[in-house]
A and B are shown apart, each in its own frame.
Chain A
Amino acid sequence: MIVSCLRALLSHWRRNPVQLFAYLAGLALATALWSGVQAINAEARASYDAAATTLGEGQYDLLIPWQGDRIPLDDYISLRRSGWLVSPVIVGRLDDIQLVGIDLVTSATGLGTGNVTSVPLALASETLLANEDTAQKLGPLVNVTVDASIAPGMAVGDIGLVQRLLGRDDLSHLVLLPDQSLGQPDLSVIVPSLRIQRAQQVTSISQLTNSFHLNLTAFGLLSFAVGLFIVHSTIGLAFEQRRGMIRTLRSLGVPLRILLTLIAIEMLTLAAIGAGFGIVLGYLIAAFLLPDVAATLRGLYGAEISGTLELRASWWVSGLLLALVGTAAALSSRIWQIAKMPLLASVRPRAWVIATASRFRLQSIIAVSLLSATILLGLFVKGLVAGFALLGCLLIGAALALPALAASILTLLQRYTTAPVWTWFWADTRQQLPGLSLALMALLLAVSANIGVSTMVSSFRLTFVSFLDQRLAPELFVQVETKDQSIALAAFLDLRKIEVLPLSKTQVSITNKPVALYGVRVGPTYRNNWVFLDETDGAWDLVAHDTAVVVNEQLARRAGIWVDDLVQVAPDLALPIAAVVGDYGNPQGQVIVSENLFQNLHPDLYPSQFGIRTTEAPALRAQLVNTADIDNNAIIDQASIKALSLEVFERTFVVTAALNILTLGVASFAILMSLLTLADLRVPQLAPVWALGLTRQRLGWLELLRAVLLAAIVVVCAIPLGLTLAWVLLTIINVEAFGWQLPMYLFPLEYVQLGGFALVAAFLAAMWPAIRLMRTPPSSLLRVFASER
């Protein structure tokens, strides 16, 4: 019985391959972008973890210099000889690869931990450990042992070997081992030039890159939702069409329970197959996007992620499960319907009943409540979770409101039409709304998300470019390594009467968070170029007179302080805030004081960075290298920094654009599938109109027009929704997640273009069904009237 029954159930798909395709493809699409994005996120996260593990970041407290990034070996020995249990680390770049040298004998994961087998190996064979990619890049330069657990772009080896490769004899930082001994003297007595950086104070790469991954996840979730719309409507249609078969099966004696079980197994198995395709597709998408994502992350955050994708259970299982749960949810209501359906219920497919009048009303009520919730959340609730709840309410509420809104627009249009064909057209379009509403909602979500995200990204770019102009006013930047160099360079520039902007920098702790303290020379460059978010009158004068500070937005928001509030700059010095400055893309708090005040607070520190104003950058550069003994690599010109920063953004745009196209593609596929599956059921409706004298050609064109028109209604709704979305992302989510607010800019041309894409997508999606209609043989139309049907 089960075999015959299954055969009968499955024969439906064989006779309706388009429906089967829609079902599988819907699931595949739902799963694909989601798991693709998750694959990228998982890969990145694994890379960050590997990097953190490799560097010991965030696990151990570190000793780092107050200034610069070099520690003499003698300081290490002094610390050990006074009972400080620290282990030396050297970090440096060899071409594109970050070399990490550790002392396997003292390291926290070395000899003392019982993990001894690898220690002598690495010590004795003078080999670097790196993953396969990195190992290939290192090539014949050095002995490399492949170790997949090493973070991408990094190579780890014995400190002696790494020092030799880097041509250095000093250290970068010291790892403070967890168990210290009795009788340890104060750090300031032994090596005053070092300070302890607590493990939990380190801003990890994964925190830094959260915004980026959030962006990706949002796209993935969106396309998942759209895919599920397709699945939901296909399941609905398939059930409606199989009502007759189900009645026959039951009247021939198939017990209800067996029938329902078989249907559930059938649909879930197909769902698993669809999701399987989706996962393969997701892998391909991820592999395609990964290089650009990797480039963006490297450029924006200096985060290295692996260039090759691993098949990790975390993402493909989650994709599969999500697809199955989504399908099961859509299935359960249908199964419930069959269970409750009288055995001899009507056999005619009720395509127009997919959404009944009462359901329509319910949908509108839910939409109104969700939109009200959106407003309430926006007004009264704070926090990241509330921000996301707000986004969810807004998007779902707007999507659910769409059919009702579209219906009223169509009613209005109908009222103002007198020509009978058009009256019929509007009425017929309105009647079709329920069948198309899921696809239209999907399109609405896709278009508005695209508008929202591209507004956000473009706003970010505009802001960032103008921010770069403010901040990168000096034509040359010079980095010095030692105090002598610093003094010599200052004197050299002084002599030539060149405007120079020395920058001193150190880390301080304000409200228990690490904050960068900068000492600047207040002058025309700062006064003319920096744009404050908020300021008191004569802000720079106050800073120049050592009576106030400038803080960045991140610090201000995180610490809940603003202009005129006090900042504890040093244990015995609190100064008011003269201005708050926007500081985009930087996760860390900053306090800016005059160079004078900085010198008083930290007399041992010297300016390590110099910005130089000059109209003859190349000539001065040559002079600095030849006369002032500055390494050419230590000088960067403004243009190349800007180019580098902007290139990062171009990469981000490539990723965003690719995701835009993919989500729009998914949405137009949803329209195509809805139209195709509705096409057969439309025949009885179109037949009378045809009989009354409208040609099939005319009907076909009207069908096309209908699709484009509905898409136009969707686009009109999507623009305000998308802008609201962008506003929420910029002023709520961004502030809650990253501590800074971005000004919102509008890009009308882009929206027009996007709207155009959506219309074209709808047109293309409607084309096939329309052509099919134009070619429908008159006999099929006639059969509608035959008594046999």
Chain B
Amino acid sequence: MVLKFEAVHKSFRDSEGTVPVLRGISFDLEAGQTLALTGESGSGKSTLLHIAGALEAADAGRVWVAGQELTQLNDSGRAALRRTDIALVFQQFNLIPSLTVAANISFQSALSGQVDQTHVEQVVDALGLSDQMKKYPEALSGGQQQRVAIARAIAAKPKLMLADEPTGNLDEGTAEDVLEQMLKLVAQTGAALMVVTHSTNIAARMDRRLQLRSGLLV
């Protein structure tokens, strides 16, 4: 079991009081499985993904990632987990603007001190980024930037890969390409993948689909 949610609750405070976002979420995800998380805007998809990525903490309930229970970890424990077992791909602003594409791709694996250069090269080739390595992110198109983000995620050999609308900013053709490559690479590494998306098209490509409505899985 790479990811397991058990009765997870989360609410936010705003000017009108406490707004419940997740109201008892339980599910799990095995290695090699892909999962689509769908739902309307504000249904709590991103919050769920952030909790799975150890970026935010749940108010109640328990979450396991790669066998570790997140509530048992302190800040640096969660940081270490993010570094080694989780990889994140956001809709945008994934990259460090002042580093080259090459440095960005190997950055996460370099953080944990385990750069596998052959693996990195395979990923770069697979994503068609070989010619872009020396460029800075600002010189790339949106599709290329997302490929770099995916390359970085795969290069880190995570057990769990989390993607939040990874193709949300891309035109349809590019989105299709990027998604295709991501799924292929994830399949090769055997990681579990959870994708937050509002696209039924993308959801259809995943092994499993969960839908969030009013903070509950339906």
Contacts and interface: CB of A to CB of B under 8 A. Distances in A.
Touching chains A and B, CB distance < 8 Å: yes
Interface of A: 1, 4-5, 7-8, 11-12, 14-16, 244-245, 247-257, 343-344, 347, 787-788
A257 B76 contact: yes
B79 interface: yes
B88 interface: yes
Contact of A245 (B75, B97, B111): B97
B169 interface: yes
A788 B82 CA distance: 27
A251 B55 contact: yes
B82 A252 contact: yes
A8 B97 CA distance: 9
A367 B94 CA distance: 42
Interface in B113-142: 113, 136, 141-142
B211 to A, nearest CB: 23
Interface stretch (B29-37, B102-110, B180-188, B198-206): B102-110
Interface string B158-175: 000000000001000000
A11 B96 contact: yes
B57 to A, nearest CB: 11
B95 interface: yes
Contact of B99 (A8, A253, A347, A787): A8
Given A8-B107, A253-B80, A1 B96 contact: no
A253 B86 CA distance: 9
B52 to A, nearest CB: 13
27 contacts: A1-B113, A4-B110, A8-B99, A11-B98, A14-B98, A15-B98, A15-B136, A244-B96, A244-B97, A245-B98, A247-B93, A248-B95, A249-B96, A251-B53, A253-B81, A253-B83, A253-B108, A253-B112, A254-B111, A255-B75, A255-B80, A343-B55, A343-B56, A344-B55, A344-B56, A347-B93, A788-B92
Interface residues of B, number: 33
Main secondary structure of the interface of A (DSSP, over half): helix
A247 B97 CA distance: 12
Contacts of B94: 248
B174 to A, nearest CB: 12
Q: Which 4 A-B pairs have the closest CB atoms?
A: A253-B83, A253-B82, A11-B98, A255-B79
A255 B95 contact: no
Contact of B98 (A8, A250, A255, A788): A8
Contacts of B75: 255-257
Interface in B2-50: 50
Contacts, number: 81
A787 B111 contact: no
Interface of B: 50, 53, 55-56, 75-76, 79-84, 86, 88, 92-99, 103, 107-108, 110-113, 136, 141-142, 169
Contacts of B96: 8, 11, 244-245, 248-249
A15 B98 CA distance: 6
Point out which of B86, B97, B112, B141 has the most chain A C-beta atoms below 10 A from its C-beta: B97
Contacts of B107: 4, 8, 252
Contacts of A788: 92, 141-142, 169
B110 A15 contact: no
A252 B83 contact: yes
Contacts of A12: 98
A265 to B, nearest CB: 18
Contacts of B84: 253
Nearest to B80: A253
Nearest to A248: B96
A256 B74 CA distance: 11
A787 B83 CA distance: 31
Point out which of A1, A251, A788 has the most chain B C-beta atoms below 10 A from its C-beta: A251
B111 A252 contact: yes
Contacts of A15: 97-98, 136
Given A244-B93, A344-B55, A788-B169, A5 B111 contact: yes
Contacts of B92: 788
Nearest to B83: A253
B82 A251 contact: yes
Contacts of A250: 79
Contacts of A247: 93
Contacts of B99: 7-8, 11
Given A11-B103, A244-B93, 19 more contacts: A1-B110, A4-B111, A8-B103, A11-B96, A15-B98, A15-B136, A16-B98, A245-B96, A245-B97, A245-B98, A251-B88, A252-B107, A252-B108, A254-B79, A254-B83, A255-B75, A256-B79, A347-B93, A788-B92
Contacts of B169: 787-788
A30 B95 CA distance: 35
Nearest to A243: B93
Contacts of B112: 1, 253
Contacts of B108: 252-253
B197 to A, nearest CB: 18
A253 B158 CA distance: 12
Nearest to B99: A11
B55 to A, nearest CB: 5
A1 B88 CA distance: 18
Contacts of A787: 169
A343 B55 CA distance: 7
B155 to A, nearest CB: 12
B134 to A, nearest CB: 14
B86 to A, nearest CB: 8
Contacts of B103: 7-8, 11
B83 A1 contact: yes
A256 B55 CA distance: 12
Nearest to A14: B98
